Amino acid sequence: MTTTDESSAGPPAQPGDQTIDELAAEAGIPVSTVRMYQNKKLLSPPERRGRVGYYGDHHRSRLRAIASLQERGFSLAAIREVFESWEAGRTVRGLINLREVAPSLARQPLRLTMPELLERFADIELHQADIVRAVELGMIELDGTDVVVRNAAFADIGPTAARLGIPIGTILDSYGALGADLDQIAERFRTLFETHLWDPFVADGMPADRAVSLTDDVGQLAELATAVVTAELTDRFAEFAAMYVERANSSDAAT
């Protein structure tokens, strides 16, 4: 008896085409799950050529998006709502706001009372002018009697640097100068993102499934940028440390 299943023999597939069996195998899910996604309108039907249904890049991308959203805790009903909302309004902000792109990379502010802030700088001379300067640089905000540290890491970095013997004023000036350097580094990675990820996404019509993966790409690129900068800084520190050791050895030899 002849069947009409998508995996039945039919016209030759085009490059990138897959039968339902091949699509399911690549995605690591049962064929029944692919059919269920289609029944729930999460996945568009295959392209029919005769009795054979072929799946392409769009279907593979959509399955990856579904898997990504499921890993974040979205139900199938919520995932369908995401896709429908996107197709209706194509609002990137609305899609991204459903979940933080990269929670581990987000700033974690810290709220302290003024005594708690001063306690972190125990035995370090901290003047009112230093606090005003930190506010001007955007490191902290004054909220009534509380101090909100924009990034919790600053609450440890500042005191640690000061205990190394670096004056508070110099730390603040260095932070201000560092901001300009970081702007240049961030701009390089922003350009990479726009040229190689965002522009192709827009050119393809901003499909919902790609939008989901694009938000993950932002986080991955940020992590890569952080890793590259950290690695290069480590090398630079090793180089100048070796230079000062050599100077010390030269001074000992001269005496």
Give the whole-number percent of the chain exceeding pLDDT 70. 84
CATH 3.40.470.10 fits 20-89, yes or no: no
pLDDT of 110 higher than 70: yes
Q: How far, in Å, CA of 56 to CA of 142, rounded?
A: 55
Q: Which helix (H) or strand (E) holds 20?
A: helix 20-27
Q: How far, in Å, CA of 111 to CA of 130, rounded?
A: 18
pLDDT of 225 higher than 80: yes
3-class state of residue 156 by DSSP: helix
pLDDT of 140 higher than 60: yes
What confidence category does residue 192 fall into, taking pLDDT thresholds of 50, 70 and 90? very high
What pLDDT does residue 131 have? 92
Which residues on neighbouring strands pair with residue 240, listed in sequence order? none
Decide: 17 and 54 in contact? Cβ < 8 Å.
Answer: yes
What pLDDT does residue 35 have? 94
pTM over 0.75: no
Decide: 129 and 139 in contact? Cβ < 8 Å.
Answer: no
* Residue of 119, 196, 202 whose CA lies nearest to 159: 119
Domain boundaries, the chain: 20-89, 105-254
Q: How far, in Å, CA of 179 to CA of 183, rounded?
A: 6
What pLDDT does residue 103 have? 46
Q: How far, in Å, CA of 8 to CA of 20, rounded?
A: 10
- Ramachandran class of 117: left when φ > 0, alpha when ψ lies in -120 to 50, beta otherwise: alpha
What confidence category does residue 9 fall into, taking pLDDT thresholds of 50, 70 and 90? very low
Q: State the average pLDDT over residues 148-168.
A: 91
